[in-house]
Structure 1
Amino acid sequence: MKVLTAHPGIFNDEKVIDSNISFAPFLRFLKEKAQNESDSRSTFYKLMVEKFERNPDTMLPIAATDDLSQYKEYLDLLIAAIFPITTDTNKDIYGIGVPFKFAIFYYSDLFKKTFAENGYQLTAVPQGVSLNKIKKDKLNWLYKLILERVYHFPVNYQNDIIHTLEIEAGEKRYVKVNIDPRFVDVKVKGDTPPLDYNRFCSCQNSPENLQEILPLDAFALEGFVIWTVEDVTQTEILNNIKSLVMNMNTSNEIDSYRNLEKMLPSILQLPGITAHLVPFPKVNGKHVLEEQFSAIDPILGIGNTKQQQHFFQLMLSYLERHHGPLIISDVNEATVSSYDFLKFLPIKNIRSFVLFPIVHKKEILGVLELASAKENTLNADPLWLLESTYPLLVLMLNRSMNILDSRLNEVIKDQFTALQPSVEWKFVEEAWRYLLTPKDQRKDIENITFEEVYPLYGAVDIRNSSIQQGNAIREDLQEQLELIRDTLETISQEIHLPLLEELQFKTADMLQNLSNNLQAGEDMKVNEFMDQEIQPVLEHLCEGNEQLKPLLRNYFSKIDKTEGYVFHHRREYEESLSSLNMAISQYLEKERDYIQQSFPCYFEKYRTDGIEYTIYIGQSIAQDKKFDHLYLRNLRLWQLTSMAHIAKLTHQLGPQLKTPLETTQMILMHSAAITISFRSDERRFDVEGAYNIRYEIIKKRIDKVHVKDTGERLTQPGTIAIVYSHVKEMEELKKYISFLQSKKLLLPDIEMLDLEELQGVSGLKALRVKVNIEAA
């Protein structure tokens, strides 16, 4: 029998370690077995040992290059002992090889057919695996053997490699090759090389490091290895499908489906068929069809979108009534005439077809379609092979539903709420990990944390907004009371009711007591007076007295129909406030997209009287991009620039507002990185740790901070105030300010200010600079 070897020069095995064939380890094994009298095969083992010992040459090492034909009868005995009598050389894949080398000197016919490219050379490198990896794996195998046999290290062997075989029609099969070294002796040349255990345990046990510690020229191998090969196509494809499902996302969803569809014929052991998996996600409780899945589908990939949707509804209606597979072994016009949605199959040259609904918890998740151009190719028999694959198909279809939900949420966020794509990837990962966990093992998702991020905070406040709001309320109340007073006086001239005099007295008293600075509860007192005493009387008089109707209708026309009170001053204030906030918000929305282009960051904007925002930037937020402090510096420059533009924008809007409002701009500089965590209970990000909480305290307390020893508010219209704690922060800020002053965006001069102590916070300082709000 000819020795099968890899192509010469691929491995150069003979240069790595001396390796010879030997029957000695096998005979030693037989002798140990023969001593066990209770083993019914012990007599056979003794006869084999005697046979080998009668020929002393069989006890000697045999070079791999020697002619082995003289040992054929001994090899036949060896094969008979190792492999059971039921082994078929034409159906089973096995062989006996030289230790460490890709050299097989005894093998089954199917081994040669499977692994020999041209009848005599082994296909030594599996498809998709690099030659370097094979060499590294071989050396790892060798060192594990040496460490176990010579140094008695407990070693967990990984003797299996997965080999990919291409068969007809591009179908792949996977086989697991096991190389068993039990009949290999490791010989030491001379003295046993000492092993420095400290060095061995502390180093990374790569082949390169091990060769320095244990040179291979100090050892030799004698014996043989047993090659056995097992078809593991089903297991490998299942593992590949698991990987597809785990790694599927919006960008690779279609490719994942196409790859899965190529694997399914191998699972079913039906070469020459095509498979199509189509998800049926739900939107608002109704199944929908995504065009990206229907384009090449045998049933749905016809006509225009309207026709596809029509066939989809017909198929869906059928599947809702029949959850079992629809099998048509011989497709022709007659066999599909009962199914309107299948009428194009004969035209598409499909001669055998299976429609297999994927159902989970009585819900249709999608369909698997199998098609063949040959009649009677498909029937119910192979479908049981999908049993192990079915849960993965369910998982994949569910994942598609989640992906669609994610796309819908992206549209909703983009169109209706603030989108935060920089951190969404981590939420998706956690959600997907949660979905993969069996339901009975699921726990609430813990807080999602981002470490070592840098915060940026800015606030655009409406100057004296509470005073302006109070003035609007007071003016409305005053106007309302004056309207009541005038109306009651006119009514008193027409009719005489003592109650009217009492109401006039109360109205005058309220007008007199209405303070310039509205006191808490005054508006409620007037509204209560209006609702409970004035309104019922005036409505009664309007219904019962024709002479008073014009007067009272005039009164009611001045009352806001929605609010029930005089409300126009408050409405003017709210409209003015809304106009300012909308302009600021729209500007920041546009800028948010701009700053994301340089580096992903979390941007949260929220409305108070004005607009506040918080930005977080750092490596933990970016999924695939390397963070550098230049992105942080860039963001701080943007922050200062954008505040100047906002100040100019709100100043230009001033003349258009019904209630004159001014804005102030403030930035908080914080140079230390913090940790933030998304708190699921409050649905927002919060800081973690005592030191980091100080940052949040400052944020909440600086909005009305005063300049030290002056009583002056830090924030002023037409300026930007930047609060900081450290000198280095101030020096960085001054560079940015100087640059923007050179661009005429900021006016010359910088105010250096100390701030009053806040509760729990001291030592804050500020820079204040004026914006060139009149510049074009």
Structure 2
Amino acid sequence: MNIEHFESSPFEVKISFHKVMEQLEEIAVSGSKHKSDYAKALLDSTAAYPELREGIKDPNQLNKYEDLIKDLLSDLFPTALSKNEIKAVAIPFYNITFNYTKRLQSILDEAGTDFDMSIRDFSDHEFYVMACCLILNNYYGYHFDFSRPLFYDIPDASGIMKHYRILYNADFIEILPKDNHNEITEDDIKLLMDNFDNLELWKEKFPEDSWVLKGFGIVSLFDSTTESAISNLKTSLLKPEDFDEGDKSKQENIFRSIYKIPDLRIGFTEVHLEENTFNLPLFDKIDSYILKDRSEINCNDVFCGQSLKKIIEDHKYFVISDTENYCKACSENPDNEFAQHLLDQDIKSCILAPLVKNNKLIGIIELVSSRAGELNSINAKKLSYILPFLTDRIETYYSEMQNQIDAIIQKEYTAIHNSVYWKFREEALRHINEPENKNSAYKEIVFKEIYPLYGQIDVKGSSTARNQSTEEDLVKQIEKLLSLFRYIFNLEKLPLIEQHIYELENMETKIKTEMQADSEAVIQNYIQTEIHPMLEHFESVNEDIHNHIDNYFRTLDHRVDMVYHSRKNFDEALSIINKHLAEVLDQKQVEAQKFYPHYYERFKTDGVEHNLYIGASIAPKNQYSPLYLNNLRLWQLQVMCEMENEYYKLYPALPYQLDVTSLILVFSSPISIRFRMDEKRFDVDGTYNARYEVVKKRIDKSHIKGTDKRITEKGKITIVYSQKQEETEYRRYIQFLQHKNLVDSVVEQFDVEDLQGVTGLKALRIAIVYNTESMPEKTYSYDDLLRELS
């Protein structure tokens, strides 16, 4: 047993029995003859040891007075109660204990020597302040309430941690000042009251070793294992980090203390009644003994009818006190399989308890033991104290997780952006709070008089690159097959093999000559339905052919059974570009929303495109000004430059070399957007506004008027517009960004070819300066532009 000693104390401790001796002296003079004689005899036996009255400083010296101390304290420690009371002599808070009752001595003997006999969660700081409060109360007569539950945690012979509440009796203690003590004033008291955490202040007012604690206390222990374990469980459940991390050993120790079963294990299984399945819990490190090594199972595959009904329908415990006997008893019904399933996990007794919230079953808590009889229908009743806390915490856990899921869905999968969320919430509340609206249709969400901004960074020639990667993979696979079939034909002169060689050669020629839309599907189907089954047949012909065929299959992607190298690199490169550029755009959007709230959405296709809508109807509580539209346009142009630079840094590391082009569409006429309830997304509203959508969809593939050259070009941003004032505005932005060395000094200008239903479009095109060191740490605002130009 290790005794904890605190680093510092305001006390010099003197273990003294002077108050007991003073009582004996009173009894010797005024008590009955029998009591008087007894008191005189005790006093005579202590006369030779004045240190018992004056005080013993070294606790190690107490052993030589053991019998004498027992006699002195016999009235306080009655022999008749020694086997029942858990009691000892102690110096409060010091963990100095002696003169144990038989029951306490037995508890300590069972615990062994390898444990700390220290008060739970009792720091040096708290000890020092409590010792000072003891002085204030005992010597100065104040009434500082520093009491709180104190516990010893002592293991029993089985290793189960038991918890004992500590109660002190300080009637036999006297506190005396030493010469170096400080007198405490009313001002000191007021200061100390507000400064529990300031240990230096307490040490200043009560210097170390400046008071004498003389006498002894009596500590009585109360076995509060169950109550303390339940309290610890509640505390643990209240800490999200403990619960999320699934500290299984900590939780199991708590249950072992409650049930006094050293090998008790806990598990949990989710129940989804809608799908009629049991599932592994979402939190880590908690086992499911119902599922064992499976992640999901149908409820009907676990229990027989009555057992299933007891848990799922009746919400009652399912208890097996002896799994082996239960298995024999169920030899003729389906429950035998489940009993054997438990025995395979060394489960000889178990309790399966339903966790129910609002009459809905959310899961099953599992208590299991490797010994028969340890868990039974009698001690199952203990769960009634625990389940409410577990149920509330797990239900809260799933609610929090559902909130996170909803947040992800809203962010990643729907068009309800934060800037317009207020409008949806307003309509939902109207529907909920006004009874007459509950059965009526929801109003459509429309925002009028708003200005659109559109931009995209597109992977140049992505369709061509995708076809090229497909062609490379198909040609490579056909070449591998031709080599393999020619080898087999040299050994096995079968006409069918020659036929396949002929067909593969024709396919190779057609692919290299002209790759058609259905070429990939036709060739893949041919290889997987005709070629591969034949190869599987030839694997058993001889060992050499088997090795060649095996080497061929090793080169294939196991997911599609085809050569998938170039296509995989293309897909990975496209994914990397989209993911990284989308992250840049999303991060910059957080900054842009601070200028003025506006609607934002972006899409990943063969590149990243985005829509922005700004106007007074988006944020009616904010005063709108055209200045915010100008600011957002400048911001968009800068962010496109930054995204191009981010791509430039990515380019060398891409598994497949792809180029990108950038485009901004300027549209100065206000439009309306409506949330399409059937599509769950925003779209332009009205025939007139549709012109904007037409331009968006057709502009990136258009050409410079009178040429066959695309308006977009690698390394440049193309700005498409239709009005002179838009050109003037963007030339100012370009001039500003040229000054900041973000774009090149040359500005191209040209007409855009006429599109179906749209004519008169013009464009500016400016080259990006690819220099990461020149990229600003912040995005310049419209005010910055005005200051520079003035």
Q: What TM-score, normalized by structure 2, do the two folds share?
A: 0.51
In structure 1, give the amino acid aligned to 2:234. K
Go from structure 1 to structure 2 and tell me whether the alpha carbon gap of 1:257 and 1:116 turns closer, same or farther (over 3 Å shift): closer
Unaligned runs of 5+ in 1: 425-458, 464-584, 615-634, 663-711, 723-732, 749-763, 771-776
1:62 maps to amino acid: G
Residue 232 of structure 1, CA deviation: 2.7
Q: Deviations over 1:39-85 (max 9, x none)?
A: xx999998887666666658831314486578667633554433466
Verify: 1:238 aligned to 2:230, yes or no: yes
SS, match of residue 417 in structure 1: coil
Letter in 1 for 2:328: A
Pairing 1:351–2:340 present:
no
The correspondence for 1:330, drawn from 306, 319, 322, is 322
Counterpart residue number, 1:18: 12
**Are positions 1:377 and 2:374 aligned together?**
yes
Which amino acid in 2 is paired with 1:650? I
Residue 83 and residue 318 in structure 1: after superposition, are their counterparts in 2 closer, same or farther (change >3 A)? Answer: same
Name the CA shift for 1:160/1:766 in 2 (closer, same or farther; >3 Å).
closer
Tell me the equivalent position of 2:312. 320
Match in the other structure for 1:62: 55
For residue 755 of structure 2, what is the aligned residue in structure 1? none
Contact 1:418–1:604 (CA under 8 A) maintained in structure 2 = no
- Asked whether 1:148 is paired with 2:150, we answer no
Amino acid at match of 2:664: T
Contact (CA 8 Å) 1:280, 1:289: kept in 2 or not? yes
How do residues 70-85 of structure 1 correspond to structure 2 at under 5 angstroms?
A: 75-76=69-70, 79-83=73-77
Matching residue's letter, 1:210: W
Q: Which residue of 1 aligns with 2:265?
A: 274
Q: Quick one: distance in 1 between partners of 2:111 and 2:374?
A: 33
> Partners in 1 of 2:591 and 2:85 — Cα distance?
60
Once residues 245 and 215 of structure 1 are traced to their aligned partners in structure 2, the CA distance between those partners, rounded to angstroms, is 41
Q: Deviations over 1:526-579 (max 9, x none)?
A: xxxxxxxxxxxxxxxxxxxxxxxxxxxxxxxxxxxxxxxxxxxxxxxxxxxxxx
Question: Deviation string for 1:139-186 (max 9, x for gaps)?
Answer: 223211222222222221337533333456653322333444332111
Q: In angstroms, what is the RMSD of aligned CA positions?
A: 5.8
Distance in 1 separating the partners of 2:244 and 2:255: 17
CA contact (8 A) 1:278 1:368 kept: yes
Secondary structure, counterpart of 1:324 in structure 2: coil
Tell me how far 1:278 sits from its aligned partner: 2.4
Q: AA paired with 1:334?
A: K
How far did residue 212 of structure 1 move?
Answer: 1.9
Residue 364 (structure 1) aligns with = 361
User: What is aligned with 1:211?
Assistant: 203
Q: In structure 1, the residue corresponding to 2:638 is in which secondary structure?
A: helix
Task: Please give the residue correspondences for 1:225-304 in structure 2 after superposition, counting only pairs within 5 Å.
Answer: 225-248=217-240, 253=244, 255=246, 259-280=250-271, 289-290=279-280, 292=282, 296-302=287-293
Q: How many residues align?
A: 502
Distance across 2 between alignment mates of 1:607 and 1:598: 12
| Aligned-pair CA distance for 1:395 | 0.9
Task: Quote the Cα distance in structure 1 between the aligned partners of 2:592 and 2:152.
Answer: 43
Cα offset, 1:23, TM superposition: 2.4
C-alpha distance in structure 2 between counterparts of 1:605 and 1:282, whole Å = 42
C-alpha distance in 2, partners of 1:715/1:141? 78
Cα separation, 2, equivalents of 1:719 and 1:353: 78
Unaligned 5+ runs, structure 2: 422-448, 454-577, 602-610, 617-631, 644-660, 669-689, 698-723, 748-764, 768-780
Aligned to 1:188: 177
1:601: how far off?
A: 9.9
Distance of 2:176 and 2:364 partners within structure 1: 61
What is the SS of the residue equivalent to 1:175?
Answer: strand
Give per-residue Cα distances to partners, 1:731-765, cap 9 Å, x unaligned: xx9899735357999989xxxxxxxxxxxxxxx99
- State how far apart, in whole Å, the 2-side matches of 1:51 and 1:741 are: 106
Q: Structure 1 residues 605, 373: closer, same or farther in 2, change over 3 A?
A: farther
CA distance in 1, matches of 2:316, 2:354: 7
Cα displacement (A) at 1:18: 2.5
Q: Is the 8 A contact 2:169 2:219 kept in 1?
A: yes
Measured in 2, the distance between the counterparts of 1:599 and 1:267 equals 56
1:439-484: CA deviation from partner (whole Å, max 9, x where unpaired) = xxxxxxxxxxxxxxxxxxxx98249xxxxxxxxxxxxxxxxxxxxx
Aligned to 1:718: 730
Q: Is the Cα contact below 8 Å between 1:64 and 1:98 reproduced in 2?
A: no
Contact 1:301–1:308 (CA under 8 A) maintained in structure 2: no
* 1:163 alignment partner AA: Y
Which residue does 1:394 correspond to in 2?
391
Change (3 A) 1:184 1:589: same
Give the direction of change, closer, same or farther, for the CA distance of 1:397–1:172 in structure 2 (3 Å limit).
Answer: same
Q: 1:461 aligns with which of 429, 451, 464?
A: 451
Q: 1:286 to 1:418 in 2, by over 3 A?
A: farther
User: Which residue in the other structure is 1:104 paired with?
Assistant: 97
Task: Answer yes or no: is the 8 Å Cα contact 2:321–2:373 preserved in 1.
Answer: yes
Structure-2 separation of matches of 1:135 and 1:270: 34
2:317–2:351 CA contact under 8 A, matched in 1:
yes
User: Whole-Å Cα distance in 2 between the matches of residues 306 and 714 of structure 1?
Assistant: 63
- 1:602-658 deviations in whole A, cap 9, x for unaligned? 9975279951499xxxxxxxxxxxxxxxxxxxx999777227789963339999967
Q: What is the DSSP-based 3-state SS (H/G/I as helix, E as strand, rest coil) of the residue aligned with 1:82?
A: coil
- Number of the residue aligned with 2:82: 88
Partners of 1:32 and 1:396 lie apart in 2 by 60
Shift in Å, 1:223: 0.5
Secondary structure at the aligned position of 1:375 is classed as: coil
- SS at the partner of 1:365? strand
Q: Quick one: structure 1 residues 125 and 387, their matched pair in 2 at CA, closer, same or farther if it must change by over 3 Å?
A: same
**Distance change >3 Å, CA 407–CA 72, structure 1 → 2:** closer
Contact 1:5 1:104 in 2 (8 A): no
| C-alpha distance in structure 2 between counterparts of 1:63 and 1:363, whole Å | 65
Report deviation, 1:311.
Answer: 3.4
How far did residue 125 of structure 1 move?
4.1
Task: Please say if residues 200 and 213 of structure 1, whose CA atoms lie closer than 8 Å, have aligned partners that are also in contact.
Answer: no
Give % identity: 17
Judge which range, 212-221 or 294-303, deviates more: 294-303
Is 1:267–1:386's contact at 8 Å kept on the other side of the alignment? no
Q: Is contact 1:592–1:603 with CA below 8 Å preserved after alignment?
A: no
| Kept after mapping to 2: 8 A contact 1:98/1:104 | yes
SS at match of 1:359: strand
State the Cα distance separating 1:224 from its structure 2 match.
Answer: 0.3
Change (3 A) 1:192 1:202: closer
Partner SS state of residue 376, structure 1 = coil
Specify whether residues 327 and 257 from structure 1 end up closer, same or farther in structure 2 by C-alpha distance, changes over 3 A only: same
3-state DSSP class of the match of 1:141?
A: helix
Q: For the residues of structure 2 that align with 1:31 and 1:716, how far apart are their CA atoms?
A: 110
Q: C-alpha distance in 2, partners of 1:68/1:656?
A: 99
Residue in 1 that maps onto 2:707? none
Q: Distance in 1 between matches of 2:585 and 2:27?
A: 78
- Counterparts in 2 of 1:272 and 1:600: CA distance versus 1, 3 Å: farther
Contact 1:350 1:371 in 2 (8 A): yes
Report the counterpart of residue 338 of structure 2 in structure 1.
342
Equivalent residues in 2 for 1:374-773 (5 A)?
374-417=371-414, 461-462=451-452, 590-591=583-584, 593-595=586-588, 606=599, 611-612=613-614, 641-642=638-639, 649-651=663-665, 718=730, 738=740, 740=742, 766=783
Instruction: Call closer, same or farther: CA 1:88–1:768 in 2, change over 3 Å.
Output: same
Q: Give the TM-score normalised by the residue count of structure 1.
A: 0.51
3-state SS of paired residue (2:144): coil
